[in-house]
Each structure stands twice: as C-alpha cells, then as structure tokens.
Amino acid sequence: MSDIFGIMAEYKTPHDIYEACGEFRDAGYSCSSKWDTYTPFPVHGLDKQMGIGRSHVPWIVLAGGITGFTTGALLTWYMNGFDYPLVVGGKPYWSMIYPFPVMYELTILFSAFGAFFGQFLTNFLPQHYHSAFNNEGFKRHSDDAYFILIEATHPLYDEAKTRALLEKTGAYNITLVNK
Amino acid sequence: MSHVAEDTLPERPAVLAKVKPLTTLPRRPLVLHNRDFHWITNKICGIVEDPAPTWWWVCFVVSLGIASFLGVGLLWLVSTGVGVWGLRTPEFWGWDIVNFVWWIGIGHAGTLISAVLCLLRQKWRTAINRASEAMTIFAVMCAGVFPLFHVGRVWFAWWLFPIPNSQSTWPNFRSPLEWDVFAVSTYFTVSVLFWYMGMVPDLGTLRDRAVKTWRKYFYGVLAMGWRGSTRHWRNYEMAYLILAGLSTPLVLSVHTIVSFDFAASLLPGWHTTIFPPYFVAGAIFSGFGMVLTLVLPLRAMYKLHDLITQYHIDCMCKIILATGSMVGYAYAMEFFIAWYSGNIYEGFTFINRAFGQYAWAYWIMISCNVISPQFFWFRKVRENTALVFIIVLFVNVGMWFERFVIIVTSLANDFLPSSWGYFSPSIVDIFTFFGTMGFFSTLFLLFIRFLPMLPIGEIKHVTPPADPHYHPEAQTGGHS
C-alpha cells in the first residue's frame, strides 16, 4: 500500500473532465490539494471547477515591479546625483524626470522576472521526477488525453470508493500509480 | 425596399423561420479541416522529429556562409578601427545605425503578436506567435551588434552598463543613448523569458514523444518537468497574461526610446515630436513584413496550410496596410510641419530629402512603404501568396531605406554647408550588414530544427473542441 502514489484515470474530452471535476468537488475532494488534473492545454474554468483559488503570481510581480522602480531611482540618484554629480546645463543633479526611462525599463524588467520566476516558484518547477510519469500512458497528457490523479494521501482517498466515483463520472483506464 | 406593400410585411417572419438566418456570423476557423489534437501534435512535432529536409541543409550551409561575412566585417573593424566603416565628417552615423534601427524595428512585430494581440484576444496570433517571437530575439541580437561595435573599442562596451570601473565614473543617465542601453537590454531579456515560458508546455510534448536518449535529456531539461497540471496552468496562464501586459508598454517604449536617440538631438529632420509614434508604427510595419517573409516559405515547405491559414495571412496583410498608411501619414505630416513651423533649416532638410542628392533613396522609401502596401486593399492580392511575398519584400527594403533617409540626409547636409558631404558605405559596412542576415537566418533555421515552431498547446486551445462546453453534435458547422 505504501508504494501507491495514487489512483489515475483518463477522460475522453475536456467536457468530460470538466463535468467530472465538478462531481469530485461536490463530493468534497477540494478540501485538499492532493488531487489534480492534467490536460494538454489549459481547459478554461477547470481550476474553478476543482475549487482552486486564484494564482499568487501577481503578488510576486508587484514585488518585482516595486523593486525595479526603486532600483532604477536609487541607481540613477547614486551614480549621477551623489557619487559622481555632474552639472549639466545648471540643472539639478538628480530629478525624477530625466532618468525616468531607466526606472521605467527596470520596473518592467523586474516585474517580468517576477512573472517568470514566480510562475516556476509557485508551481514548484523544475521538478524532473513526478510519480504521474510512472503510468506509461500518462505521456499522452501533452497530446490529447485528460488525466485525473487522486493521491493516496488525500483525506478522502479510499481505493474502492474513489474508483467507484471515477467510474461513475465516466473515467476509463483507471490505474494505480506507484510512487 | 421602402416601397414594399404593407400587406407583404406579415409574411416575413414565416420566411425567416424557413431560411433560419444565423444569429451570429460564423468566424473563420483557425485550424482548417477540423484537425484533431493528435494531428496538431504530430504535425508540429514532426517538423522537429523528422530528419532535416535537404532544403534545410542547403539553406543552413548558405546562411552559415553569409554569416561568416559578419565575422570578417567585425574582425576587420576591430583590428583596424571604426574608420573602416564609411563614417567621416559630417556622417558619423551611417549604415551601422541604419541597420541597428532596422533590425530592432523588425523585432517589434514579434512582441506585438505575442503580447498586444494576446491582450486584445486576437486568437489568430497563436499560429504565428512562436516563430515571430524567435524572430524578435534573433533580430535584437543582430541589432545589438551595431551599437556594440560602433563604440569603437568594443572591449570597453561594458562601460555602458552601471558597473564600477577603474575611473570611478558612471554612465550619464541624461543621454538617450544610455536609455537605449536599458531599453534594448530589457527588451531582449523579457522577450527571451516570454518566448521560453510560452514554449515550456510544448517542450514537454517533445519530451514525452522523444525516443532517442539525447532528445529525452535535451527536451527533458528544457521542459522543467512540466506535466500539464491544472494547478500549474493556473499560475502559468496568469504569468503569461502578466508578461503580455508588461511587454506591451515595453515594446512601445523601446522604439520610442530609439527614436529619442534622434528626437532629443537638435538636427533638422530629427528634432521632431512625431518621432515616437512614427517609429513605433514603422517598426510594426517592418516587423510584420519580416514575419510574412519568414512564415510564407515555411508554410509552403512544411505544408502548414491548415494551421497558418489564409485568414492569418489576411490579418497580417491588413495590419501591414494599416501601419503602412500610418507611416505614409507620418511622412506627409513631417513635410507639413517643416513648412508650417516656418523654420528654414527644417524646410530645407525636407526639400533636400525629396529632391536633393538622396532623392533616389527617398523615392525608393515612398514607393516601397507608402505605395506597395496599398495593394492589400484588394482581397485578390491578399490571397495571392506569391504577390504577398513580393510586397512584403518591398516593405523590408522600404523600411531600411526609411532609416537611411532619416539618418543620412539629415547628417550629410547639416547647418554648416562647408562640411556637407555625400555618404557612401565601405565594403566593411556592406559585409557586416550582409553578414547579419546570415547570422539571423542561421539562428532561425536552428530554431525551426530543434524547437517547436508553432505553439502546440495554444493552437489546440483555440480550436472549438478545447472548450469544456463544446458539444460535437451541437456544432453548426458551415466551414469545412
């Protein structure tokens, strides 16, 4: 039993998996994150159907943007206004205006870092080993198959009951996946 | 119709019930012949998995040969000095800056397709966005070569960046050239991140299909263990949307800042407020020209007609028409302002552009940029692939000449007639520019060989069966 990672099954269409996830959610499965679906493209509304909340990536982007803007302001102030002040046309050593393009670009750059690394961070990627791949048929998840996986550590996991619910929702190729 | 007798009107509902007019007009399909998901996967992965076709090897070897000119040109320059470029009083910006602006402008279409059209929910972007993003990255690399080597002592190019050096000086952030350093390097970095992130799920597809060990490792490492989890897609889509939202102001700022290199100077013909929007429109115009130049041959060679459809070509032609007209308007407005401002230097510059020693370049520019895209008003032209290809080649040429006209005419005849001159490129100029084309083609050919040229997941996503509320039997059809 301890070798079992979870129970995996396949659905035929995005519509089937969408409806099935609704049934699993109603059966109380969204109480834990120990179940997941795998699709070749984002099926719209499937995350809501599974009862998953909103992504946290925007907060990381916001943090990146603030960091970028501050970096741009401090960088230009330190270099042109403090450490090596230059008199150009009698204008102030530093103002918010002239180095604005630099702050603007750094805001975008650091926000983009936030989005890019935030996505990998929140998804715990890269993760090159995952038990789902122990199911040989799972390779088709990136082609045209729609998988559901309920992990053995899920509080509602019960091999017989979960299998029955999978069958009821029209799943096929129901298999146990090793760790 | 207004003379229809009153008594005939009550019959209309019955007629309507019989003919059943569509309540919504059908959209043109993005994937023809109702191809299924597996077909899409096979078609796109096949490009990478099948042995390289003979034409690919021929193109690759020729491109490498052309790219070697870049190496020779740069070696010649570095070992001798910037003087070997045709730069002399009063022309200190010549082909190098023309090429820089031309290449960086080409890059803009990639970001426009991937970011702006994503925000505008233009689903047709999916078939062409990957190749266009790759084009952006390689075009920016080619662009970067020119200012980098124009600095003269290229081994000191790092002084452009705010890195402490032995002289304890810092870059001057008042200079638009310094803004350019930040704009272009940010643009390159963000484009690479966007391109790579978009590719991760498709790299996963290639990994899952890999048979050879090296492929398993190569795509396995690049795919970062992507497994198409809904929990992942949620973060991924959010990050993708945000990157699109960030790239939009970025792409507008990059060519705006490039135009500041000119607009912030005091030279007649450069010192104008119209430059930022004019440059951005021109950049998109030239970029779409290059996208079509690349995509049309690939579509023919790999038989991608079901994925890159006539609808896609139509859309791109219309954008070229719109931006080409904007560019034409900007040319006219520059002339008008030159006269309306009452500034004699400004007035002279523009008369000189059209009728002076560089009139030949000016009229090439006008014919290629203003006249040639007007043919896209006609559906017959847009549907004739060969003609589209020829017109976009003209667009590419015309946009190069636009930058040549702007840079060279203003510099050659400046305020001081005693220093007027006529700019001619040197053989090193020609070698270097020719070489960047080979460098670009080499990178692009490697890209189509090893990476998914079309976004597999995104194309599937825009087909009707990807919608969870799709019912095959409820499909009205109407398009094959």
List pLDDT tens digits, range B258-308.
999 999 988 888 998 899 999 999 999 999 999 999 999 999 999 999 999
pLDDT digits (tens, 9 = 90+) for B184-235: 999 999 999 999 999 999 999 999 998 999 999 999 999 999 998 999 999 9
Query: Given this model, what pLDDT does residue B2 score?
Result: 46
CA distance A43 to B468: 7
ipTM for the whole predicted complex goes beyond 0.90: yes
Task: Print the SS3 string covering A31-66.
Answer: HCCCEEEECCCCCCCHHHHCCCCCCCHHHHHHHHHH
Does A57 sit within 8 Å of B230, measured CB to CB? no
Does A61 sit within 8 Å of B471, measured CB to CB? no
Average pLDDT rounded to a whole number, residues B27-53? 88
Does B37 sit within 8 Å of A116, measured CB to CB? no
Check if A101 contacts B (Cβ < 8 Å).
Answer: yes
According to the per-residue pLDDT averaged within each range, which of A38-47, B19-28, B465-474 is highest? A38-47
CA distance B438 to B71: 11
pLDDT digits (tens, 9 = 90+) for A88-104: 888 889 998 899 999 99
Confidence of residue B111 (pLDDT cuts 50, 70, 90): confident
Query: Given this model, what pLDDT does residue B455 score?
Result: 92
pLDDT digits (tens, 9 = 90+) for A9-30: 999 889 889 989 988 888 888 8
For chains A and B, count residue pairs whose Cβ atoms are closer than 8 Å: 211
Say if residue B3's pLDDT is above 70. no
Of the partner residues B173, B225, B232, the one whose CB lies closest to the CB of residue A128: B225
CA distances to A8, A33, A163, B6, B420 from A20, in Å: 13, 16, 13, 55, 77
Check if A118 contacts B (Cβ < 8 Å).
Answer: yes
Query: Given this model, what pLDDT does residue B127 score?
Result: 87
Query: Given this model, what pLDDT does residue B11 score?
Result: 58
Query: Given this model, what pLDDT does residue B449 score?
Result: 93
Check if B225 contacts A (Cβ < 8 Å).
Answer: yes
Of the partner residues B168, B179, B471, the one whose CB lies closest to the CB of residue A102: B179
User: B268: closest CA among B410, B403, B98?
Assistant: B410
Say if residue A119's pLDDT is above 90. yes
DSSP state of B229: B
Burial class (CB in 10 A: 0-12, 13-18, 19+), B359: middle
Searching chain B, which residue's CA lies closest to the CA of residue A128? B225
CA distance A38 to A148: 6
Task: Print the SS3 string covering chain A.
Answer: CCCEEEEEEEECCHHHHHHHHHHHHHCCHHHCCCEEEECCCCCCCHHHHCCCCCCCHHHHHHHHHHHHHHHHHHHHHHHHHHHCCCCCCCCCCCCCCCCHHHHHHHHHHHHHHHHHHHHHHHCCCCCCCCHHHHCHHHHHHHCCCEEEEEECCCCCCCHHHHHHHHHHCCCEEEEEEEC
User: A60: closest CA among A123, A105, A128, A127?
Assistant: A123
Confidence of residue B326 (pLDDT cuts 50, 70, 90): very high
Confidence of residue A110 (pLDDT cuts 50, 70, 90): very high
Does B170 sit within 8 Å of A83, measured CB to CB? yes
Tell which wins on pLDDT, A69 or B91: A69
Tell which wins on pLDDT, B235 or B470: B235
Contacts of B37 in chain A (CB under 8 A): 40, 143-144
Percent of chain B predicted with pLDDT > 70: 94
Query: Given this model, what pLDDT does residue B122 score?
Result: 86
Query: Given this model, what pLDDT does residue B321 score?
Result: 95
Say if residue B359's pLDDT is above 90. yes
